[in-house]
Amino acid sequence: GQRSSESPKNSNESFAIVSFKWDHVKEPYIIVLWILVASLAKIVFHLSHKVTRVVPESALLIVLGLFLGGIVWAADHLASFSLTPTVFFFYLLPPIVLDAGYFMPNRLFFGNLGSILLYAVIGTIWNAATTGLSLYGVYLTGIMGELQSGLLDFLLFGSLIAAVDPVAVLAVFEEVHVNEVLFIIVFGESLLNDAVTVVLYNVFDSFVAIGPTNVTGIECLKGIVSFFVVSLGGTLVGIFFAFLLSLVSRFTKHVRIIEPGFVFIISYLSYLTAEMLSLSAILAITFCGICCQKYVTANISEQSSTTVRYTMKMLASGAETIIFMFLGISAVDPDIWDWNTAFILLTLLFISVYRVIGVIIQTWILNRYRTVQLEIIDQVVMSYGGLRGAVAFALVALLDEHKVRERKLFVSTTIIVVFFTVIFQGLTIKPLVQWLKVKKTEHREPKLNEKLHGRAFDHILSAIEDISGQIGHHYLRDKWSNFDRKYLRKILMRRSAQKSRDQILNVFHELNLKDAISYVAEGERRGSLAFIRSPSTDNMVNVDFSTPLPSTVESSVSYLLREKAGPVCLDMQALEQRRKSIRDTEDTLAHHTLQQYLYKPRQEHKHLYSRHEIMHSEDDKQDKEIFHRTMRKRLESFKSTKLGINHSKKLNKIHKRDRGQKRRNSSVIPNGNIPSENPVQDFALKEKDLEFSESEENNDYETLHLGKGVDFLANVTKQNFSDSPAGIDNPVFSADDDQSIYMKFSPWLSGEDTVVPSQRARVQLPYSPDNFKRLTPIRLSNKSTDSFLLADGPEDRPRSFLPESTHM
Amino acid sequence: PGVPQGSAPVTSLLSLAVTSEQIEHLHRRFKQLSQDQLTIRKENFDSIPDLEFNPIRGKIVHAFFDKRNLRQESDGLAEEINFEDFLTIMSYFRPIEMNMDEEQLDRFRKEKLKFLFHMYDSDHDGKITLQEYRNVVEELLSGNPHLEKESARSIADGAMMEAASICVGQMGPDQVYEGITFEDFLKMWQGIDIETKMHVRFLNVDTIAHCY
Tens digit of each residue's pLDDT (9 = 90 or more) over A763-775:
444 443 433 333 3
Encode pLDDT of A298-320 as tens digits.
888 888 889 999 999 999 989 98
- Identify which has the larger pLDDT, A214 or A344: A344
Name the minimum distance, in Å, from the CA of A565 to any CA of chain B: 6
Chain A CB contacts of B50 below 8 Å: 462, 466, 475, 478
Chain A CB contacts of B131 below 8 Å: 752
Q: Where are the domains of chain B?
A: 17-203
Q: Do A466 and B48 touch (CB under 8 A)?
A: yes
Q: Where are the domains of chain A?
A: 85-436, 466-501
Q: Tell which of B98, B170, B185 to mutate to test the A interface (max A CBs under 10 Å).
A: B170
Q: Do A373 and B98 touch (CB under 8 A)?
A: yes
A-facing residues of B in 47-86 (CB < 8 A) are 48, 50-51, 53-57, 60
The per-residue pLDDT for A315 is 92
**Closest-CA residue of chain B to A561:** B151
Q: Fill in the amino acid letter for A197.
A: T
Query: Which among A632, A643, A742 is positioned nearest to A697, based on CA atoms?
Result: A632
The per-residue pLDDT for A198 is 82
- What percent of chain A shows pLDDT beyond 70? 60
The per-residue pLDDT for A627 is 53
Q: Do B169 and A502 touch (CB under 8 A)?
A: no
Task: Please tell me the distance from the alpha carbon of residue A366 to that of residue A123, in angstroms, as a whole number.
Answer: 12
**Closest-CA residue of chain A to B30:** A468
- What percent of chain B shows pLDDT beyond 70? 67
Q: What is the pTM of this model?
A: 0.65
Name the minimum distance, in Å, from the CA of B37 to any CA of chain A: 17
Q: Do A449 and B163 touch (CB under 8 A)?
A: yes
A-facing residues of B in 159-198 (CB < 8 A) are 159-166, 168-177, 188-189, 191-192, 196-198
- Identify which has the larger pLDDT, A627 or A25: A25
Encode pLDDT of A260-284 as tens digits.
999 999 999 999 999 999 899 999 9
pLDDT exceeds cutoff 50 at B145? yes
- What percent of chain A shows pLDDT beyond 90? 13
Task: Please tell me the distance from the alpha carbon of residue A477 to that of residue A499, in angstroms, as a whole number.
Answer: 20
Q: Is A387 helix (H, G, I), strand (E, B) or coil?
A: coil
The per-residue pLDDT for A499 is 64
Asked whether B40 and B86 are in contact (CB, 8 A), the reply is yes
**Closest-CA residue of chain B to A565:** B151
Q: Of A339-343, A344-348, A373-377, B12-16, which range is least confident? A: B12-16
pLDDT exceeds cutoff 60 at B130? yes
B93 touches chain A (CB under 8 A): yes
Name the minimum distance, in Å, from the CA of B201 to any CA of chain A: 7
What is the crossing angle of helices A93-102 and A166-176, to 10°?
Answer: 50
The per-residue pLDDT for A555 is 36
Q: Tell which of B59, B60, B89, B100 to mutate to test the A interface (max A CBs under 10 Å).
A: B60
> At a CB cut-off of 8 Å and minimum separation 6, what does A695 contact?
none
- Identify which has the larger pLDDT, A244 or B121: A244
Task: Please tell me the distance from the alpha carbon of residue A446 to that of residue A512, in angstroms, as a whole number.
Answer: 12
C-alpha pair distances (Å), B131 with each of A556, B5, B30, B128, B179: 15, 34, 34, 8, 9
Encode pLDDT of A550-604 as tens digits.
333 333 333 333 333 333 434 444 444 444 443 444 555 555 555 444 433 443 3
Closest by Cβ to B170, choosing from A498, A504, A765:
A765
Binned at pLDDT 50, 70 and 90, residue A638 comes out as very low
Task: Please tell me the distance from the alpha carbon of residue A492 to that of residue B95, in angstroms, as a whole number.
Answer: 38
- Identify which has the larger pLDDT, A694 or A611: A611
Task: Please tell me the distance from the alpha carbon of residue A302 to that of residue B204, in angstroms, as a whole number.
Answer: 44
Closest by Cβ to B154, choosing from A465, A748, A758:
A748
H/E stretch holding A87 reads: helix A85-87
Q: Do A761 and B157 touch (CB under 8 A)?
A: no
Chain B CB contacts of A442 below 8 Å: 191
pLDDT exceeds cutoff 50 at A783? no
Q: Of A279-283, A386-390, A696-700, which range is least confident? A: A696-700
Query: Which among B55, B39, B63, B35 is positioned nearest to B47, based on CA atoms?
Result: B35
C-alpha pair distances (Å), A597 with each of A522, A567, A791, B11: 9, 16, 18, 67
> What are the respective helix, strand and coil percentages of chain B, to the nearest 5?
55, 5, 40
ipTM of the predicted assembly exceeds 0.85? no
Asked whether A353 and A131 are in contact (CB, 8 A), the reply is no
Q: Average pLDDT for residues A533-549, to the nearest whole number?
A: 37
- Identify which has the larger pLDDT, A250 or A761: A250
B199 touches chain A (CB under 8 A): yes
Query: Which among A333, A428, A312, A357 is positioned nearest to A73, based on CA atoms?
Result: A333
Closest by Cβ to A752, choosing from B57, B130, B165:
B130
Residue A212 exposed, middle or buried by CB count within 10 Å (0-12, 13-18, 19+)? exposed
pLDDT exceeds cutoff 50 at A248? yes
Task: Please tell me the distance from the alpha carbon of residue B101 to that of residue A139, in angstroms, as a whole number.
Answer: 50
The per-residue pLDDT for A312 is 93
Closest by Cβ to A463, choosing from B54, B192, B196:
B54
Binned at pLDDT 50, 70 and 90, residue A79 comes out as low
Average pLDDT, chain A: 69
The per-residue pLDDT for A646 is 36
For chain B, report the end-to-end CA distance as a whole number of angstroms. 37
The per-residue pLDDT for A59 is 87
Binned at pLDDT 50, 70 and 90, residue B67 comes out as confident
The CATH architecture annotation of domain B17-203 reads Orthogonal Bundle (1.10)
Binned at pLDDT 50, 70 and 90, residue A196 comes out as confident
Task: Please tell me the distance from the alpha carbon of residue A404 to that of residue A42, in angstroms, as a whole number.
Answer: 37
Q: Of A299-313, B71-85, B121-135, which range is least confident? A: B71-85
Q: Is B66 helix (H, G, I), strand (E, B) or coil?
A: strand
Closest by Cβ to A557, choosing from B29, B32, B154:
B154
Q: Do A444 and B191 touch (CB under 8 A)?
A: yes
Q: Average pLDDT for residues A434-441, to the nearest whole number?
A: 76
- Identify which has the larger pLDDT, B93 or B17: B93
Encode pLDDT of A471-515 as tens digits.
667 777 878 878 887 888 888 887 777 665 566 667 777 777 777
Task: Please tell me the distance from the alpha carbon of residue A74 to that of residue A334, in angstroms, as a whole number.
Answer: 12
- Identify which has the larger pLDDT, A369 or A327: A327
Q: Of A38-52, A707-721, B32-46, B180-194, which range is least confident? A: A707-721
Q: Average pLDDT for residues A648-668, to the nearest whole number?
A: 35
Binned at pLDDT 50, 70 and 90, residue A637 comes out as low
Task: Please tell me the distance from the alpha carbon of residue A710 to that of residue A707, in angstroms, as a whole number.
Answer: 7
The per-residue pLDDT for A239 is 94
Q: Do B51 and A463 touch (CB under 8 A)?
A: yes
Binned at pLDDT 50, 70 and 90, residue A94 comes out as very high
Name the minimum distance, in Å, from the CA of A752 to any CA of chain B: 8
Q: Tell which of A755, A758, A760, A762 to mutate to test the B interface (max B CBs under 10 Å).
A: A755
Name the minimum distance, in Å, from the CA of B198 to any CA of chain A: 7
Closest by Cβ to B55, choosing from A459, A466, A725:
A459
What top-level class would CATH report for the domain A85-436? mainly alpha
Binned at pLDDT 50, 70 and 90, residue A235 comes out as very high
Chain A CB contacts of B129 below 8 Å: 753
> At a CB cut-off of 8 Å and minimum separation 6, what does A385 contact?
A164, A169, A172, A173, A186, A425, A429
Name the minimum distance, in Å, from the CA of B1 to any CA of chain A: 23
DSSP character string of B29-58: HHHHHHTT-SEE-GGGGGG-TGGGG-TTHH
pLDDT exceeds cutoff 80 at A121? yes
- Identify which has the larger pLDDT, B24 or B168: B24
**Closest-CA residue of chain B to A564:** B151
Q: Average pLDDT for residues B194-198, to the nearest whole number?
A: 68
